Structure 1
């Protein structure tokens, strides 16, 4: 208990300086950020280059960035949503070939939005947080007098309705309307409320609109989710209120570092992106445990079967959320964070070494694709990763 209080005091002293000592902060965060007093939320904002080291600049930068995000919401969701609710202009219609037609962009966005919506609704299914109503919904969108079509309503309108002509045995025909259901149905909050997953959906939609060359790629929700959860759970209301905007910019900065692994054109054989990361992973494993490396090769257990997800989603699917947050403390704190990610992945395999050596392909495959079921202590994984590094 005394040691934990000493750690809290170390974070307090470091964050209360006029200028943050980055080296000290990295060292503290690498060993885990406390949730108390919003330390993790603040530290992640610094480590993800959202807040500068000069604390006197924080207020101005936060006001500027939050105002900019509000502008994005208005331009990309509120204005188009208002037009959709009010109906388009008479000379604009779905078949309008004019490149300036609002309908062209609308249809193009819908495919992307449907995927974002599907992914966000099932975000962290074991955690009720994302299904709960946020205390700070977008007022422009959910206000009682608002005439904006929300992204959720837009998705609901996208679901196709069809009519089937049915003829009975007496020759009488009837049109039967049917609604094409999505693969999963979800309970929704009443009008006037927004679930946290809807906030995540809005962030991803805006990000995709601002990055048309990349757009939305499945899995980005798993990267944004822990960031938003951390900021939206901040014990300080004055920070929690702006979790959406702050999450957007921290997610954007993180994606700037890892965007190559989400670009589809950079496939497994590319010299950069996910192919390069998996090559580095297998090379590191061979260097640290050549016998295990050869056994995995003998089983024909290719890294794309399991390491693709580990590396692309920063292990967010391999551990429960509290453990993911702890892992990300170390990743964000490390100045070579993705090298350390590779070390963690190697550690995971080396901890399963006995089973990999003794078991057959189906058993080993199940183990590495469902690492959570092995119930390995996270601290053991991190300690092994530090030894590997």
Structure 2
């Protein structure tokens, strides 16, 4: 513990613009436990923090952006679950704050944390694959959430109590499947939006003999009410309406990238650096 404290104090001096923030010790501990060498562990931690700095900004803009992206992701992938979370006042996804902040360090058993981090560090599918891990956890428990949890505090309590009860293997498989489905969804929406909007030609009504009360020869109000809508103006099915409303936000599109976004140091100054624990 003393050696870890010294490394964190050293990092506080090394990255003085950010400083030390509560939660950094969770990121250092696995690295130090594996390396068992102060210098190697410190520089490994420095490299890890290059991608995790955004989580620890004073204004929490980095965390807010991830939670916003998760909001968009759930809304796209599971609209029914999203509507339920909305009714439970839980679409801020604050119940995932700790998980995302320290990369599920407190949610899995120790060996699983090491394996999960190794998988996430590969950036094989996405540099933000941890958001699909979060989505996989949510999807695993959607029936309980939708069937029994009606308020924010209930959702928060339930998710917090999942700590050390999550199976990593099935979660990774589910996250992988969700990512592939997300890819296909984005491709389908992009393809649909690239098609030109069909032009509907309005047919002129056939001329009819003038009748009393209908001097213009057009169909009477009674006749118009009894006309069946054509395929051009028929209302769409609910599923078609949902698909039309789907929009791939910049945050969602960024999930397809394997590039790790690193914090611009000028950004840290603008955001006011870190906060003490």
TM-score, length of structure 1 as denominator length: 0.43
Which of these residues, 31, 34, 56, is aligned with residue 230 of structure 1? 34
The question of whether the paired residues in 1 share the 8 Å contact of 2:120 and 2:130 is answered with: yes
CA deviations 1:205-238 (Å, max 9, x no partner) are 1000111111100000001111111212xxxxxx
How far 1:365 sits from its partner (Å)? 2.3
User: Counterparts of 2:168 and 2:93 in 1: how far apart (Å)?
Assistant: 23
Larger Rg: 2
1:1-389 equivalence runs, <5 A: 197-232=1-36, 243-265=37-59, 267=60, 270=61, 273-335=62-124, 338-360=127-149, 361=151, 362-372=153-163, 375-389=165-179
When the two chains are superposed, the root-mean-square deviation of aligned CA atoms in Å is: 1.7
How far 1:363 sits from its partner (Å)? 3.7
3-state SS in 2 of match to 1:354: helix
TM-score, length of structure 2 as denominator length: 0.60
The runs of 4+ residues in structure 1 deviating greater than 3 Å are 335-338
User: Counterparts of 1:260 and 1:300 in 2: how far apart (Å)?
Assistant: 26
User: Counterparts of 2:127 and 2:172 in 1: how far apart (Å)?
Assistant: 14
User: Counterparts of 1:356 and 1:381 in 2: how far apart (Å)?
Assistant: 17
CA deviations 1:93-130 (Å, max 9, x no partner) are xxxxxxxxxxxxxxxxxxxxxxxxxxxxxxxxxxxxxx
User: What stretches of structure 1 of length at least 5 have no aligned partner?
Assistant: 1-196, 233-242
3-state SS in 1 of match to 2:69: helix
User: Counterparts of 2:50 and 2:125 in 1: how far apart (Å)?
Assistant: 15
User: Counterparts of 2:126 and 2:46 in 1: how far apart (Å)?
Assistant: 17
CA deviations 1:323-355 (Å, max 9, x no partner) are 111111110112565420000000000000110
The question of whether the paired residues in 2 share the 8 Å contact of 1:355 and 1:364 is answered with: no
How far 1:316 sits from its partner (Å)? 0.6
The question of whether the paired residues in 1 share the 8 Å contact of 2:67 and 2:92 is answered with: yes
Higher relative contact order (CA closer than 8 Å, sequence separation 6+): 2
